[in-house]
Structure 1
Amino acid sequence: MTPAADPFALFSAWLKQAEASEPNDANAMALATADTDGLPNVRMVLLKDHDARGFVFYTNFESQKGTELLANRQAAAVFHWKSLRRQVRIRGAVSVVSDAEADAYFASRARDSRIGAWASQQSRPLEGRFALEAAVAKYAARHAIGEVPRPPYWSGFRIAPSYIEFWTDKPFRLHERLVYRRADAAAPWATEQLYP
């Protein structure tokens, strides 16, 4: 694999190919965070934007991942596209997106999803399904007319990668691993190939 000058352009090309071949959610990524004891936590989230600044996803800041990221502004993620036999790993510092970005994305979501963001006390104990359904009914009634505003505890995070690895499956487990590293978001990228 010949290194491209810009890993974000390479990622965009790979994602576009995955969108054409993956049966579901080509933008799904496994997101790893750590709690205050340093114990890792991983779950699937959906990438909602990416550019040279980083990789963006949205969540409830009061959720487990939200509280972990607000306490420890670092994360790792992996995209795995089985149909292409490829994966991309990223690691880096995390920041909160601007209110304007969060408002624009929230407004683009389906109305029921916006109501759900108000109704769900994400990651907290649920006494029963009826409690969730009652909360949905309450917020649907509250926002029956007009736009549903973004909750103050709901926004996005951006991972600004200092490490991006492109992995391609090859016969006999002689996989290709191309790594881009940089000291910080302002530094130039250095590339290297890794043994599989």
Structure 2
Amino acid sequence: MPAPRIKLCGLTDGTALDAAIAARADYAGFNFFPSSPRFLAPALAAELGARAAGRIGRVGVFVDAADAAIAEAVAAAQLDAIQLHGSETPQRAAEIRNRFGLPVWRVIGVAKGEDVAKAAAYAGAADFILFDAKTPKGTLPGGMGLAFDWKLLAGLKIALPWGLAGGLNPANVAEAVRLTGAPLVDAASGIESALGVKDPALIAAFCGAARA
């Protein structure tokens, strides 16, 4: 089984971005959801986007965002992909994909088997599915350190490329890849020393463990 690609989400400063690049992560996730502790304002997004150019993929994370907000972030960070983490329908995903001409990643919150099946509706509307743990109502839609039962993805066959998120950290990512065969893994809270504060040592450890 080839080593999974790696996305590190919620990077908010140059130190974390440089650590992600040094650890050979494939994607940096920039969070544009204003309620998130990892929110990135456009000015800093522009700085990090320029720093990342040609070195790592830039994925913008949005939650039910208006077109104007997406446009501002795409322009500032020079995004390579748009990740939708809210209640966006297949129709909305397709609309965003057509409007911005960028690959769309759709996050599917998982608590049980039927949640996994919801991914099928996004064939032709999104380019990539990211399975994440479903968070309780009234909490942030991701980055909470919660995992779901990875066995729900065993033997998964869907029409779209996909990845795994939710509670991944250096200690469990190898097992998660072994159980699911995930072609991509995504970490946020599992590479932090405090809420929203990325730890270069944990970034290096996570990338090493994912590839091992």
- TM-score category by the smaller chain? under 0.3
Greater fraction of residues in strand: 1
TM-score (norm. length: structure 1):
0.25
